[in-house]
Structure 1
Amino acid sequence: MSKILLVEDNEMNRDMLMIRLQHKGFEVITAADGEQGVNMVYSEQPDLILMDLSLPIKDGWVATREIKQSPEIQHIPVIALTAHAMSGDKESAIAAGCDDYEPKPIEWQRLLGKIQTFIG
């Protein structure tokens, strides 16, 4: 069973995504801020990270850069989840180290396809 770390500060979004992912057979662990998210990447070694970019304490941009600069965990794919859907935001997310980008509101089938691309 593939393990996904969902880093999302909005409780309703976090719960909805967690339930949908669990129904697809994924083990889902969650973090409510970027600092907790980075710590959980080290402790849990997920197969994939879904990273909201607008987070408290440490935003998703900073958290992703930290993950991608660490030899121990940099191989773990990060998909940015963000309401920042303006022109150039996808490029900014990729530049921060995200492997892919999904604008909010999330289109479930498209996100699922992206997850399956990275972890099958």
Structure 2
Amino acid sequence: MNNKILIIEDNEQNLYLLSFILEKHGYEVFAAMDGFEGIALADSVRPTLILLDIQLPEMDGYDVARKLRANPSLADVPIVAVTSYAMAGDREKALIAGCSGYIEKPINPDTFMQQVKEHLPA
């Protein structure tokens, strides 16, 4: 079973919390602090799932999702937006950009793993 999850998140506290929860549940976590690093890491690591912040420096998460979807070797990897963007239309905008799902911040540590597992391949 491939249990690699890539987190693309520029906030160190959020990155720590997500990593802690995922590692506690047996996942191997890879982290990138910006979109460029995340795209390169996704290509080399071939994760099972990508958790993507939308509000990133230099290249926002929407552009990152589009670039990841344009890579044929990553086209089938689920991308879940994990974002504080929770206004009307934000979920749809993430899905249009290529995300497979959407989790609002702040995350709930009690339900986060169930939300993540909904997007992992069976």
Identify the TM-score tier after normalising by the shorter chain: over 0.9
2:12 is aligned with 1:11: yes
CA distance in 1, matches of 2:68, 2:110: 26
Deviates most, 46-55 or 64-73 = 64-73
Equivalent in the alignment of 1:90: 91
Instruction: For structure 1, list consecutive stretches of 5 or more residues without a partner in the other structure.
Output: none
How many Å apart are 1:109 and its aligned residue? 4.1
Over 6 Å off, 4+ runs:
none
2:113 is aligned with 1:112: yes
How many Å apart are 1:71 and its aligned residue? 1.0
2:50 is aligned with 1:49: yes
CA distances 1:21-66 after superposition (whole Å, capped 9, x unpaired) = 1001111010000110001110100000000000012211101000
More helix per residue: 1 or 2? 1
CA distance in 2, matches of 1:68, 1:111: 24
Classify the secondary structure of the residue corresponding to 1:108: coil
CA distance in 2, matches of 1:43, 1:57: 21
For 2:56, give the aligned amino acid.
Answer: L
- Counting matched residue pairs gives 120
Instruction: For structure 2, list consecutive stretches of 5 or more residues without a partner in the other structure.
Output: none
Report the aligned-residue RMSD: 1.2
CA distance in 1, matches of 2:53, 2:13: 13
For 1:48, give the aligned amino acid.
Answer: L
For 1:22, give the aligned amino acid.
Answer: E
Kept in 1, the 8 Å contact 2:39–2:68? The answer is yes
Equivalent in the alignment of 2:102: 101
How many Å apart are 1:117 and its aligned residue? 2.1
How many Å apart are 1:17 and its aligned residue? 1.1
Equivalent in the alignment of 2:34: 33
TM-score normalised according to structure 2 size: 0.92
Cα 1:73/1:115, change in 2 over 3 Å: same
